[in-house]
Structure 1
Amino acid sequence: MSRTHTRRPDRRGPVSTGEFWEWWGERLRDGGFLVERIPFDGLESWSFDPATGNLGHASGRFFTVEGLQVREGAREAWSQPVIHQPEIGVLGILVKEFDGVLHFLMQAKMEPGNVNTLQLSPTVQATRSNYTQVHQGAGTKYLDRFVGPGRGQVLVDVLQSEQGAWFWRKRNRNMVVLATDDVPLEEDFCWVSPAQIRELTLRDNIVNMDARTVLSCMPFALPDEAEVQGGGTFRDALVRSYQYRSEEGGGGALHTPGEILSWFNEAKTRIDWTARLVPMNDVGGWTRDGWEIADAAAENFRIIAVRVEAGTREVAGWTQPLLHPRGEGRAVFLARAVDGVVHLLVRARPEYGLMDQVEMAPTVHLHPGQGLGDVPEPMVREALLAGGSTTRYDQVLSEEGGRFHHALTRYQVVEVGEDFPLDVPPQFCWMTVRQLTDLLRHGHYLNIEARSLLTCLYGLW
């Protein structure tokens, strides 16, 4: 496939917003992108194991589609397909200071499952199979900045989970690395400022899921008290929420870190189920034909196959399976100002595919096909009805486009009033933004939807 090269000559450092969109349009035009659905027998190097029914690659790498079985005591509760990708990939953002401001080296990356093809991704977004070149394609650009002896100063390095409903114990290495030398700029990459990142999170389907999870772990410069104007607005209360964590109670936070960890551990002890991988042939209620694996009720996701062409990727063309949700999900943090400090209502949420079974999640997380009637708590459900609250953030964002096909989630931050109780059921806890971001120095605390929403919050101050 031929490819037109239209490198801008002045993109070695910061760019204006107009220049960014000019570069973005060039990358979209020059990509030569094509994604088409194909039958399973059109997959190349992928096949169903005749003994297990699992769908895997001939190399034994990348990922497999297997069965997940959930048991309550001695009884099987239900089962479903799940993506099993045991290797740990790298999601890394390279940062560099320009005129005293850290900028992020971001990539315009095509993923076959993206609803709009191209989205803004980390500098490096690669599975181990990809960056060890199992696909026999080109090497991963800038990988040496994150692994090996020549890498830069590491600011963030933490293993974080991904969707526990669709992955089996999936983790990626979230990294931020500081460059102090000159960085040669490849054509699919651009330096982006924090202010531009905040602006881009206010647009649908631009900042991809992998960028959102790394950015949530990024130690942004915290707002100081001088940025609080008058003290009465939601923004002022949000700025204070970035400041307060409260080691001993008071000081703006409802709970101390010790109280939060005790609440979280208590939630884990309430788990009374187990989950395990099983052969796809043992998954009940799901059928396979030549085009998809689907549940009999047609209410859940499907597994499909696609053929891909992309002139900007390490391999120009390939085929693969994708998980295709039916409809749009929803993830909502309820927010309430308490003594002038925004608190988020955090849920301890079990998910069957999580390594640690439970992680901290938004107040509400609805999978595609679910609605407000599936929210069990009346006080939460009523807060989301029109007229009962103020929506501060509301954008539709894509989930991981390398494994999911057109997986969209409506992300919201909804402010509730003083009539919403501070005394909440045991699965919930009020926390400041600072308390949540402090936990991101460690893995297995905040789930992927919570991390996405924390990144989106940056756009509100």
Structure 2
Amino acid sequence: MAPTTAPAPSRGEEAGTRAALAASAATVDGGVLSDVELAAWLEERRRAQPQQVERVPFAELDGWRFQPETGDLRHASGRFFAVHGLRVRSDFGPVTAWEQPIIDQPEIGILGIAVRDFDGIPHLLMQAKSEPGNVNGMQVSPTVQATKSNYLRVHGGSPVRYLDCFRRPEPGSVVADVLQSEQGSWFLGKRNRNMIVRVGPEVEAGEDFAWLTLRQVNMLLRQDNVVNMDARTVLSCLPDWRPDATEPAASLHTDTEVRSWITRRRAEHDVCATPIGLAETRDWRRDPYTVSHVSGRHFSVVAVDVISGRREVAAWSQPLIEPHGMGTAALFVRRVDGVPHVLLRARAEAGFLSVVELGPTVQCTEENYTGLPPDAWPPYLDEVRERRGSALYDVVLSEEGGRFLNAQSHYMIIEVEDDLPLVSDEFRWVSTRQVDELLRYSHHLNVQARTLIAALRSL
């Protein structure tokens, strides 16, 4: 009987992959597109993808209705996603119990990047894609970015290009294939299949696609609102190609100690999340245009009509979550005996399947802490504010534009001195080699941490 999964790469194959990626990250000349041509392509795609997004009352959503029994917001097909209520009890953070709307999207989508060699240099096939929630319309996305409803064409739209590269990859072509979560504060148990697959010369770049070197992708990661969230999470699943991040030098904690710490935090954190009807969600009110919290904080559920000439469907309507305030996601980095480490926090979020995933050093929306005492604010937030001027990386990036409206976060990487004290057992210094290993498996690093790891490798 044939094996159901591709065999794991040998040490030699893996070293070859890392060396090839390092060459792609260092290539200045010799790419399919020059940097000037890349900039022109991006501008051309922006002009070619006009998108109209209009706020509308819920009553005008096509195919979406509030259910009379529960108040949940659902599509008539029963597919795509739903918005219902969630009752949460948690020992993580300053608030121990609350209720909220949450997106329930049980389908597992595919986020995939195709990799092809040109003159021996790996190039990544990136897509220029408009999303209704993006602040600037078009952003750089993976080769394939599709929910199961999309690629099964529940909406009746056109086929997803390059999908077969990921649904039926050639033997030995898979570089990475792992289920990863999305925002645990806004999604209930949401996962996507993050894939990187090698392809051959038969795969050519279509009109909205371009072959980019890893250096060019890293260059775009250092610009505001250019590389979308789905591309960033897949990029983090690439093997770390940097020599000092993969050397078998001693880490501050052994691999077994890191795994034991994660398991202990999952076993000891108490999070109980119970789905409830949206209509019975306490402290949230519904008017013709929004479902919002009585305090005016957190986020709202809103409705939009979308017209887009470059999507599988030319026009549709849908709900979106609109955050109230800019997010902050900051990662502290340091060297321990010359070995690079990052400071991660074991975060318990209501929507996580595994209770706890590792997040950045600081992850919050500061506006949500208005009115709370200073000791209830996230640890290290003051240090982030003080050190931001010397950040190695400080870029505003959009969150998932297919479900969130104008959701942006300040992503920062800040180098700190050796004597920064740990404030609790929720934090650990983890070497970048250990992070690379954790990213081979599901539900270890959350989507904000994965963005920052992709950004760290771009520096």
Could you state the TM-score of these two structures normalised by the residue count of structure 1?
0.88
Distance 2:232 2:189 in 1: 19
Q: Output aligned runs, 1:178-327, within 5 Å.
A: 178-220=198-240, 222-224=241-243, 240=244, 242-244=245-247, 251-327=249-325
1:6 corresponds to which residue?
none
Is contact 1:161-1:172 (8 Å) kept?
Answer: yes
Q: Percent identity?
A: 47
CA offset digits 1:283-302 (Å, max 9, x no partner): 10001010000000111100
Q: Counterparts of 1:401-416 in structure 2 under 5 Å? A: 401-416=401-416
Could you tell me whether the CA contact under 8 Å between 1:166 and 1:353 is conserved in 2? yes
Distance change in 2, residues 1:130/1:390 (3 Å): same
Q: Structure 2: give runs of 5+ residues left out of the alignment.
A: 1-30
* SS at structure 2 position matched to 1:166: coil
Match of 1:175 among 172, 179, 195: 195
Change (3 A) 1:151 1:402: farther
**Residue 253 of structure 1: how far off its partner (Å):** 1.2
CA distance in 1, matches of 2:379, 2:314: 51
Q: Report the counterpart of residue 13 of structure 2 in structure 1.
A: none
Query: Which residue in the other structure is 1:396 paired with?
Result: 396
Amino acid in structure 2 at the alignment position of 1:52: T
Q: 2:387 touches 2:414 (CA, 8 Å); kept in 1?
A: no
Counterpart of 1:178, as a letter, is R
Alignment partner, residue 135 of structure 2: 115
CA distance in 1, matches of 2:66, 2:450: 35
The answer on whether the counterparts of 2:205 and 2:211 sit within 8 Å (CA) in structure 1 is no
> Please, which runs of 5 or more residues in structure 1 have no aligned partner?
1-12, 225-239
**Alpha-carbon contact 1:344-1:433 (below 8 Å) kept:** yes
Q: 1:428 is matched with which residue?
A: 427
Instruction: Show CA shifts across 1:249-271 (max 9, x none).
Output: xx341011100011111111221
Matching residue within 345, 349, 352 for 2:350: 352
C-alpha separation in 1, matches of 2:273 and 2:297: 21
| Residue 125 of structure 1 pairs with residue 125 of structure 2 | no
Equivalent in 44, 63, 66 of residue 48 of structure 1: 66
TM-score normalised per structure 2: 0.88
Matched, 1:57 2:75: yes
Q: What is the alpha-carbon distance in structure 2 between the residues aligned to residue 114 and residue 308 of structure 1? A: 12
Is the 1:390–1:416 contact (alpha carbons within 8 Å) kept by the matching residues of 2?
Answer: no
RMSD: 2.1
From 335, 338, 349, the equivalent of 2:336 is 338
Q: 1:310 to 1:272 in 2, by over 3 A?
A: same
Contact 1:62 1:85 in 2 (8 A): yes
| Cα-to-partner distance string for 1:396-452 (whole Å, 9 max, x where unaligned) | 10000000000001000111113323x552111101111111111100100000000
SS at match of 1:369: helix
CA positional deviation for 1:172: 0.2
Q: CA deviation at 1:183?
A: 1.3
Amino acid at match of 1:322: L
Query: In 2 relative to 1, CA 72–104 (structure 1 residues): closer, same or farther, beyond 3 Å?
Result: closer
Q: Is the 8 A contact 2:438 2:444 kept in 1?
A: yes
Q: Which of 350, 366, 371 in structure 1 is aligned with 2:364?
A: 366
Shift of 1:223: 2.8
Which amino acid in 2 is paired with 1:454? I
Say whether 1:456 aligns with 2:455: yes
